[in-house]
C-alpha cells in the first residue's frame, strides 16, 4: 500500500465517521475521528513535500522505526516549509486535540456544548484544506450518501452547491424543488419524459409529475404507472396508514 493511499484513505474514513457521528449526536466519537482525520491530512501535506518530514526526528538512521511528528507540532513544521495555516485554525486543531486526549486518556472536563458547536468549524477547515492544499474536492472525497449531512454541517459545501447550480443554469429547464437524494436546491434539470437530473449528486432515478393524491407537481422517486403518480410525501403517508391499519387489526379494532 502506498503512502498516499494509506494516509488519504484513512483520513477519508475518519472524516466520514466524524460527520456521521456528529449528525447522530455521538459527539465524543465525532471529536476523536475528526482530530484523527486532521492529523492524517496534515501529515499527508508534509509527506508531499518529502516523506521523511512526517517523522519526529528526520535525522534518525532508521526512519521507519521513528515515531511520527505530533499533531501539536504539525502546523509549525508545515509553516517552516511554506504551508501556512491560519493562527485561528491551528488553535482550533490544538483545542480539539486536547479534547481528544481527554476523551481517550482522562475524564473529559471540556464543555460538551462548546465542542459540539465548534466541531463543524474544524470539519470546515479540513474540507478547505483538502481543496487548497491537497487538490482534492470534497464532493469527490465524500460518498454521495453523505451529501445531505455535509450540506447541513459544512459552510465549505456551499461552494460545491454553487458550482452545481451554475451547471444546472447552463443546461436550462431548472427546477426549484430540492433533490430528494442530496437535499440541494436549484440543482435539478428537467429532461425528457419528465425525468430529472441532479447536477450535484448526479441522481437520475427521479421524475417530475403531478401527484394524483395531493395534486402538486413534485419530484418523486416512485415510478409512475398508467393509474397515476404518487409523490414521496403521499407515498409515506400511505405506508404509515397501512402500518396503522395492521396494528389496529392486531388489536382487534
pLDDT at 29 over 50: yes
Instruction: Phi first, then psi: give them for residue 190, nearest 5 degrees.
Output: -80, 125
Residue 212, pLDDT score: 73
pLDDT at 91 over 70: yes
DSSP codes, the chain: --HHHHHHHHHHHHHHHHHHHHHTT-HHHHHHHHHHHHHHHHHHHHHHH-GGGGBS-TT-SSGGGSPBPPGGGHHHHHHHTT----HHHHHHHHHHHHHHHHHHHS---S-HHHHHHHHHHHHHHHHHHHHHHH---HHHHS-GGGHHHHHHH-SHHHHHHHHHHHHHHHH--EE-SPPTTT--SS-EEE-GGGBEEETTT---S-EEEE-TTT--EEEE-SPPBTTB---HHHHHHHHHHHHHHHHHHHTT-
Report domain extents, the chain. 3-154, 172-249
Residue 207, pLDDT score: 82
- 36/207: higher pLDDT: 36
Q: What is the mean pLDDT of the chain?
A: 83
d(CA 144, CA 201): 6
In contact, 128 and 136? CB cutoff 8 Å: no
d(CA 178, CA 206): 11
Residue 240, pLDDT score: 66
Share of the chain above pLDDT 90, in %: 29
Direct distance between the N- and C-terminal alpha carbons of the chain, in angstroms, rounded to an integer: 62
Q: What is the CATH number of domain 3-154?
A: 1.20.120
Share of the chain above pLDDT 70, in %: 86
The pLDDT-based confidence of 216 (bands split at 50, 70, 90) is: confident
Amino acid at each position: 500500500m502506498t503512502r498516499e493511499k494509506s494516509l488519504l484513505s484513512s483520513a477519508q474514513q475518519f472524516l466520514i465517521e466524524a460527520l456521521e457521528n456528529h449528525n447522530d449526536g455521538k459527539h465524543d466519537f465525532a471529536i476523536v475521528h475528526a482530530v484523527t482525520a486532521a492529523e492524517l491530512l496534515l501529515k499527508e501535506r508534509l509527506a508531499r513535500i518529502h516523506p521523511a518530514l512526517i517523522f519526529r526526528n528526520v535525522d534518525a538512521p532508521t526512519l521507519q522505526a521513528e515515531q511520527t511528528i505530533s499533531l501539536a507540532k504539525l502546523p509549525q513544521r508545515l509553516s517552516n516549509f511554506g504551508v501556512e495555516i491560519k493562527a485561528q485554525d491551528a488553535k482550533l486543531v490544538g483545542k480539539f486535540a486536547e479534547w481528544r486526549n481527554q476523551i481517550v486518556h482522562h475524564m473529559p472536563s471540556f464543555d460538551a456544548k462548546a465542542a459540539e458547536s465548534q466541531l463543524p468549524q474544524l470539519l470546515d477547515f479540513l474540507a478547505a484544506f483538502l481543496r487548497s492544499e491537497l487538490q482534492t474536492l470534497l464532493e469527490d472525497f465524500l460518498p454521495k450518501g453523505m451529501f445531505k449531512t455535509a450540506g447541513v454541517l459544512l459552510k465549505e459545501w456551499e461552494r460545491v452547491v454553487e458550482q452545481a447550480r451554475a451547471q444546472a443554469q447552463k443546461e436550462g429547464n431548472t427546477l426549484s424543488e430540492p433533490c430528494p437524494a442530496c437535499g440541494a436546491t436549484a440543482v435539478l434539470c428537467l429532461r425528457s419524459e419528465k425525468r430529472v437530473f441532479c447536477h450535484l449528486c448526479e441522481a437520475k432515478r427521479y421524475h417530475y409529475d403531478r401527484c394524483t393524491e395531493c395534486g402538486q407537481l413534485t419530484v418523486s422517486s416512485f415510478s409512475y404507472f398508467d393509474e397515476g403518480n404518487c409523490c414521496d410525501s403521499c407515498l409515506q403517508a400511505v405506508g404509515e396508514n397501512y402500518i396503522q391499519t395492521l396494528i389496529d387489526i392486531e388489536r382487534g379494532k
